[in-house]
Structure 1
Amino acid sequence: MSIDEKPRMVLASPTDLLCALPYLLGFHPTDSLVVAGFAGRPPDGRLRLTARWDLPLAAGATARLVPLLTREEVTRVALVGYGPGPRVTPAVDEVIAALRDAGVAVLEALRTDGARYWSYLCRNVRCCPPEGVPYDVGASPVAAQATLHGMVALPDREALERTLTPVDGPVRQAMRRATARAAAEFRRRLLAAERPDDFAVDFVTAGLERVRNAVRLYQRGDRLSDDEAARLGLDLAVIRVRDEAWTLIDDDTIAAHLALWRDLTTRLEPPFTPPAASLLGVTAWRNGDCTLANIAIDRALAVDPGYTMARLLSEGLCRLIPPDVLRSGPTSKEIDEQMGRPTVAWLLPLCGLLDTVGLAHSAPRCLEPP
């Protein structure tokens, strides 16, 4: 996870590193190996990335690590294993061997149980006694600084997953009614259209504007109403509208995108969540939060295992492709040039989705299969 744009934190000791990692990851890891990669020369080196693996390490994990460090120009790393020695030590040994073969310096290698840490490199019992070195994440100045900048360390990964739990109860019922209203309006207008392709142009144009307005709304700290959210959920089923949202993600709007797509991932009726969850995945990945990106993409694939955008993102994360590749996508104008004028065929995925969830009670002849 690149943190070039995160608040500056000075990591001058093993305790500083241990206190910073939960905030960089977004949660307190367990049964994990975390690699912190530094670029530049000491003492002014910069923490370039953090990467986490579940323990025990999956086959091929270290093979992907070295290319990642090379791409990110990392020259020195620190390793932290979370868990008991028999589980952590083999993983640390494997990674150290791979790093040394690649000429990457290992600054420190630690094991922690959450309250004490042990060093694999230091043999001085005065600073690294056999019983371990106690530390307190909550009492650290690093933790205080992270909190001041709005960074959060949830208790565990499951707690982070729960932040994307779909809404329930009266809120879910309200969104269900709003979705039915949006679907009925779409169906009415499409059935009444004399020129279906012209209707598609109008629908896509309005959807593009709704995406832009939604981003501006969340930049102001406001929130979509149920009806607005439901309409945008229908819009995002059209690939051109979804891709417009993708092009709008930049450094200045990333916080608004995180809030918007997290909100829609939890509020939209489940069949409509893959586009919003995938956009949340893109935004989180670009923001350096690979854990949230993976959780969001998993949420999309749980609803639609074949959703292409989510599958591509999942493959990129699995291969540890750096998020910088997301900064060089096509512009809105280039997408228009590639895709051309909207046609009613662009609406087929939305019509199929509405039919699947029982919200398309009749289909226009132009959309019926031959």
Structure 2
Amino acid sequence: MSSPVFLGNPADLIASVPAVLGFTPTRSIVLLFANPQSPSGTAVSLPFAARANSPGDKDSLSDAALAHYAMDMCARLDAVAVLVVFVDDRLTPPLTSGTADPRHRSVLEVLARHLESVNRVLGGTWAARALAPKAEWWNALDPSESGLLPDPDTSPVALAYTGAGRTIHRNRSALAESVTTDTAMRDRLAPLLAAAAADAHERWVRTARIGDPDADTRRTLWRVVHAISTWSPTGSPDLRVLAEVAVALRDSAIRDAMFGVAAGVHAARAEQLWSILTRALPDPDRAEAATLLAFHAYLRGECPLAGIALEAALSSDPEHVMARLLHIGLSHGMNPTRLHKLCRSAIEAAAELRIDIGAPQPHSHTKEGERDKSR
């Protein structure tokens, strides 16, 4: 999802960074990849944003590495400009032109030179100690341009994103905590997984005897959809239901059908369920839930959460095929609309089993424009 940002006031752009990233960055350099949305160039869409540690800090990218990354992403996203925002509580505004932080000047010079070589531009560079209401901001190279930030939580981009169901976390650590294993719940759930697996095997044996290989898949898919549609985020989760769903996801037919759920009426409840399972399941079952959580986030453009969830999935199962494919797509800036085909295939596969997993809604992520249909 990309929203137009009006550049008449740089403060609006800077305040949009937490929404575009999905969390409020600290001690970071943020790259915003931009495409013009008005003939005058005063409004742009931001299809993708990325952050790295502040230049010169531990684990920060070299100037050349950052520049090559920006060049590659511009090509993949067809972006015409890169906008840069430095966020670091240690910064001080330059007193005069030419007195910018040496590390900032170095990275910007290298970035501008590399972008120019591929007919892209460095569209603007700003800095702030923090992204918060009334925090001071300034042009990283021109001290005459400065001001105070509006509230990032009420920026037009933030309101558009939260209205679409995205969550803006207070920092990257809070984002990571959303998929951190809950060891207490995992220890309570683990014994129930064996019992659920035994029950699933017995059901499969019974349906195999009647010569209907799809009967067990159909019944299991129905039960998973029922669990999703009746899921409530309030109160303590039913561990037996969690165990049954987790075991069901071991069946690739069931797991693949769940990608279609992300496009329909049960999407929000399903994502809540995948989130809890990501925190509650042991390896390698955790990988299935984390991959589904990542898919939901990626589909609506919440790339930071998708990335964190995919890291969890691949940590749980490094060979997980779908997690690896989504990770490659995310790291290369693949547009979320490319996931629509997988949603449709999943819905059709479930329909062949005579199970309605929730048809796409008029404003769902699978409603296509003519441009997407032509792909």
Contact 1:9-1:145 at 8 Å conserved across structures: no
Distance 1:92 1:44, change over 3 A: closer
Q: Which residue of 2 aligns with 1:321?
A: 334
Which stretch has the larger CA shift, 75-84 or 224-233? 75-84
Match for residue 29 of structure 1 among 22, 25, 32: 25
| Partners of 2:347 and 2:150 in 1: CA distance | 52
Alignment deviations for residues 182-224 of structure 1 (CA, whole Å, 9 cap, x no partner): 123224445x548369575333222322343344335x86796
| Partners of 1:321 and 1:197 in 2: CA distance | 45
Q: Which residue of 1 aligns with 2:107?
A: 91
Q: Alignment partner of 2:319: what SS?
A: coil
Q: Which residue of 1 aligns with 2:126?
A: 110
Amino acid in the other structure paired with 2:114 = A
| Partners of 1:194 and 1:257 in 2: CA distance | 27
Which stretch has the larger CA shift, 62-71 or 29-38? 62-71
Distance 1:145 1:238, change over 3 A: closer
Match for residue 345 of structure 2 among 331, 354, 369: 331
Distance 1:251 1:188, change over 3 A: closer
Q: Which residue of 2 aligns with 1:242?
A: 255
The offset of 1:145, in angstroms, is: 4.5
The offset of 1:180, in angstroms, is: 3.4
After the TM superposition, which residues 77-226 of structure 1 pair with which residues of structure 2 at under 5 Å, given as runs? 77-83=82-88, 85=101, 87-114=103-130, 115-121=135-141, 123=142, 125-128=143-146, 133-135=147-149, 137=151, 145=159, 149=163, 152-169=167-184, 171-190=185-204, 193=206, 195=208, 198=211, 201-217=214-230, 225-226=238-239
Q: Which residue of 1 aligns with 2:315?
A: 302
Q: Which residue of 2 aligns with 1:57?
A: 61
Distance 1:199 1:327, change over 3 A: same
Distance 1:60 1:238, change over 3 A: farther
Kindly indicate whether residue 281 of structure 2 is the aligned counterpart of residue 268 of structure 1.
Answer: yes
Alignment deviations for residues 49-90 of structure 1 (CA, whole Å, 9 cap, x no partner): 231132333665544544544554534442212336455444
Kindly indicate whether residue 45 of structure 2 is the aligned counterpart of residue 47 of structure 1.
Answer: yes
Contact 1:15-1:135 at 8 Å conserved across structures: yes
| Partners of 1:259 and 1:11 in 2: CA distance | 36
Which stretch has the larger CA shift, 224-233 or 289-298? 224-233
State the identity %: 24
| Partners of 2:150 and 2:217 in 1: CA distance | 53
Contact 1:16-1:140 at 8 Å conserved across structures: no
The offset of 1:232, in angstroms, is: 0.9
Contact 1:282-1:293 at 8 Å conserved across structures: yes
Q: Alignment partner of 1:158: what SS?
A: helix
Q: Alignment partner of 1:195: what SS?
A: helix
| Partners of 1:225 and 1:30 in 2: CA distance | 38
The offset of 1:247, in angstroms, is: 2.6
| Partners of 2:155 and 2:336 in 1: CA distance | 29
Q: Which residue of 2 aligns with 1:343?
A: none
Distance 1:66 1:231, change over 3 A: same
The offset of 1:16, in angstroms, is: 1.7
Contact 1:214-1:260 at 8 Å conserved across structures: no
Q: Which residue of 1 aligns with 2:295?
A: 282
Amino acid in the other structure paired with 1:97 = R
Match for residue 312 of structure 1 among 325, 341, 348: 325
Kindly indicate whether residue 23 of structure 2 is the aligned counterpart of residue 19 of structure 1.
Answer: no
Distance 1:110 1:173, change over 3 A: same
Contact 2:278-2:289 at 8 Å conserved across structures: yes
Structure 2 residues not aligned, in runs of 5+: 54-59, 92-100, 354-375
Aligned residues: 326
| Partners of 2:22 and 2:72 in 1: CA distance | 25
Contact 2:260-2:347 at 8 Å conserved across structures: no
Contact 1:286-1:323 at 8 Å conserved across structures: yes
The offset of 1:9, in angstroms, is: 6.8
| Partners of 2:17 and 2:265 in 1: CA distance | 25
Distance 1:184 1:73, change over 3 A: same
TM-score by length of 2: 0.72
Q: Alignment partner of 2:169: what SS?
A: coil
Distance 1:247 1:152, change over 3 A: closer
Distance 1:197 1:334, change over 3 A: farther
Q: Alignment partner of 1:111: what SS?
A: strand
The offset of 1:325, in angstroms, is: 1.5
| Partners of 2:294 and 2:153 in 1: CA distance | 32
Amino acid in the other structure paired with 1:92 = L
Contact 1:57-1:91 at 8 Å conserved across structures: no
Amino acid in the other structure paired with 1:331 = S
Q: Which structure dedicates a bigger proportion of its chain to helix?
A: 1
Distance 1:321 1:183, change over 3 A: same
